[in-house]
Amino acid sequence: MMSRDEFKTIAGNGIWKQNTSLAQILGLCPLLAVTTNAVNGIMLSLATILVMAISNLAVSSLRNFIPHEIRIPVFILIVAALVTVVDLLFNANLHELYLVLGIFIPLIVTNCIVLARVEAFAAKNAPLQSTFDGIFMGVGMLWTLALLGAMRELLGAGTLFGGIDMVFPSLHPIQLLPESYPSFLLALLPPGAFILLGCMIAWKNWMDARAAVRAKRKPPMPVATAGCN
């Protein structure tokens, strides 16, 4: 079982301290491609939460059978197989949801967040903790991508929740700025995503620094993970 403190640490690490996008700077490739609006960002994150929870659970349960030397190929095998099975099951049984989330699931296979968490957490911890770690890493990604997507579409096109009608046909995007708002293309293209993500990272560091000054002590350094895209 898991103590309350342990749960709090895992949740805090996922949502803020080791936030995948802002602290670990992982998975930038799907991040840049997908966050042209908030809805896409949220959808990718939901798919990621699901995949990370399942793969962390599987790897953590099997961790005692995996020789250390070949752990990476085995992790990749497990993650890729599970993602494909999830993809097939979604396609067959939840087709409506698949049409919305489906295009994001193959994107996740290439996402190094999944492998990074499997290697850094699930391979060393019990199944329950690992599952929660996967979920909360995904939740951290969820709010980051939602915020980044919302900023990009607001600056770029003056709307909010564009594409929501693809998820819920009865809802419509909100036009926040007047129709006459000239599109700001930079925000919609990948360089705009880099610039805004940079601003968000700066904001997080500023918040952390302020909190550190207030607490009159240095915050613990985030655990460094293997760098990839």
Partner 1 sequence: MSSAREYSPTGMAARTAATLFVFVIIFTGLLSGAYLWTKPAIEASAAEEKMKLVDEVLPRSEYDNALLEDTLTLPATPELGLSESSTLYRARKAGQPVAVVFEAVAPDGYAGKVKLVVAVRTDGQVAGVRVTQHKETPGLGDYVEVKKDKNKARPWITQFQGMSLAQVAAHDWKVKKDGGRIDYYAGATVTPRAVTKAVLKAVKWAEANRNQLFAPPGAPQ
Burial of 132 (0-12, 13-18, 19+ CB in 10 A): buried
Stretch that binds partner 1, among 46-54, 138-146, 185-193, 204-212 (CB under 8 A): 185-193
Stretch that binds partner 1, among 112-120, 121-129, 138-146, 183-191 (CB under 8 A): 183-191
In angstroms, what is the minimal distance from the CB of 110 to partner 1? 18
**Residue of 1, 65, 213, 220 that binds partner 1 (CB under 8 A):** 65
Task: Specify whether the CB–CB gap between 80 and 99 falls below 8 A.
Answer: no
> Counting contacts by CB under 8 A, is residue 192 touching partner 1?
no
> Counting contacts by CB under 8 A, is residue 42 touching partner 1?
no
Phi and psi at residue 158, in whole multiples of 5°? 80, 10
Stretch that binds partner 1, among 9-17, 122-130, 180-188, 202-210 (CB under 8 A): 180-188
Q: Which is nearest to 163 in space by CA: 83, 100, 96, 75?
A: 100
> Counting contacts by CB under 8 A, is residue 61 touching partner 1?
no
> Counting contacts by CB under 8 A, is residue 112 touching partner 1?
no
Amino acid at 89: L
> Counting contacts by CB under 8 A, is residue 78 touching partner 1?
yes
> Counting contacts by CB under 8 A, is residue 180 touching partner 1?
no
Contact residues toward partner 1 (CB under 8 A) are 36-37, 65-70, 73-74, 77-78, 81, 84-85, 88-89, 91-93, 95, 153, 156-157, 162, 165-166, 183, 185, 188-189
